[in-house]
A = this chain, B = another copy of it.
Amino acid sequence: MINKVFSAEQLDDKDPLAHKAGAFSLPDNTIYLDGNSLGPLPKSAEKRAVEVVQEQWGQGLITSWNKHQWISLPQQVGDKIGELIGAQQGQVICCDSISINLFKVLSAALKMNPRRKVIATTRDNFPTDIYMVQGLLDLLGEEYSIRYVDEASISSQLTDDIAVLMLTQVNFRSGLKLDMKGITEQAHAKGILTLWDLAHSAGAFPVCLDDCNVDFAVGCSYKYLNGGPGAPAFIYVARRHQDSYQQPLSGWMGHSAPFSFSPDYAPDSSVKQNLCGTPGVIGMSILDAALDVFDDVSLKAIDEKSKKLQAFFIAEAKRAGVLEHFGVASPPINCRGSQLALAHDEAYAICQAWIAEGVIADFRAPNILRIGFAPLYLSFADVEKAVTRLAIIMNEKRYENATFQQRQSVT
């Protein structure tokens, strides 16, 4: 815990990541606690956006597929992400969306564990993860089924009829962080393949896919990786599975020789097989540049600062009497990701009132004020101000008469 004798200023002074905020183009007078929905604009990405559009596309036209190596972007970006999630080269590729990537991996995993017909996941997983299973099962027929396991005791529910266990490492609502290593090990002991969704993990804290012996993972790049709105997602396929892996969205870019235009599909033998159609070069180039922000920082340092920011938020919130108004819907700091969930029946209106005061957080149905802590651009002074403004809103009940339009936010 942060001792209250340290002021925000003192904490910022000794913050080894303080300089990184300068790597982002942030709006004035805004405290951003929603980097876990959409990360802000890195200056490197801003520069690359102009470059890829004006020079590479505008001047290079079709020749840029080679000249500017658009053709190898998915692997290049994949390997950059791989470094941030504990994956050796050649196991991560950047492509499509998490939803589509889940479909690929789940289909492939079922084929690799053919005697089993159950996909297990948590009821409180992010909806699209569950929806994608439902869509796949609908296609495959009644032989297959989904089984919901309780997030609080996953290991005890692992049975030998489960083909694949699909989990999101950090719960999108509560922030609960699952024990990747332990659960993966227990799943393997029962012959179950594991698929981890890293949406709220990648770029937020050290993830160790190789060390945890994970089979497959997916994740998005528009949250803590700051890749931009709807930036492309990624897939991890552990090297040991790449030979037998075969996913059904067999587009030409996943072919072993896409430009031979051969009549029959022959999958690439690497993680590249997960490519399907022509990749979105502009979005992927912007992401490529955005990832450079991580060049000179460690995920360990990011994680440490996140914990300090969160502890400071809670200490300040307690001192200002803010926490009396909320239930804490997150587990303790060592068991959660880089976010805090506060429960209140008026959470939606409170969130909107906070936004009106220049503090952007997020609301999650039914009653959660979700606060994201992204250490690359958030200062302790920001946190202090955010708490002060929330205290005023709560003490003066400013949210009560607010008429805010419902905002659709994209997690």
- Where the two chains meet, the residues of A that have a C-beta atom closer than 8 Å to any C-beta of B are 25-27, 30, 32, 34, 37-38, 40-41, 45-46, 49-50, 53-54, 56-66, 70-71, 96-100, 103, 107, 123, 126-128, 130-132, 134-136, 138-140, 220, 222, 228-233, 246-253, 255, 258-265, 276-284, 286, 355, 360, 362, 364-365, 405, 407-410
Contact = CB atoms under 8 A, between A and B. Distances in A.
A161 B192 CA distance: 40
Contacts of A32: 61
Copy count, this protein chain: 2
Contact of A277 (B25, B96, B247, B364): B96
13 contacts: A38-B62, A40-B58, A46-B54, A64-B229, A65-B409, A96-B100, A103-B248, A123-B263, A127-B252, A127-B263, A131-B255, A138-B246, A259-B408
B281 A282 contact: no
A128 B408 CA distance: 35
B134 A58 contact: no
A386 B229 CA distance: 41
Nearest to A56: B229
A47 to B, nearest CB: 10
Nearest to A136: B248
Contact of A66 (B63, B229, B247, B407): B407
A266 to B, nearest CB: 9
A57 B71 contact: no
Contacts of A100: 96, 100, 249, 251, 276-277
A49 to B, nearest CB: 4
Query: 5 shortest A-B CB distances, which residue pairs?
Result: A97-B277, A99-B251, A135-B250, A229-B281, A99-B277
A135 B216 CA distance: 20
Choose among A229, A260, A280 the residue with the greatest number of B CB atoms under 10 Å from its CB.
A229
Contact of A59 (B27, B126, B134, B250): B27
Contacts of A264: 130-131, 134
A355 B63 contact: yes
Contacts of A60: 27
Contacts of A140: 139
A345 B142 CA distance: 53
Contacts of A230: 70, 278-284
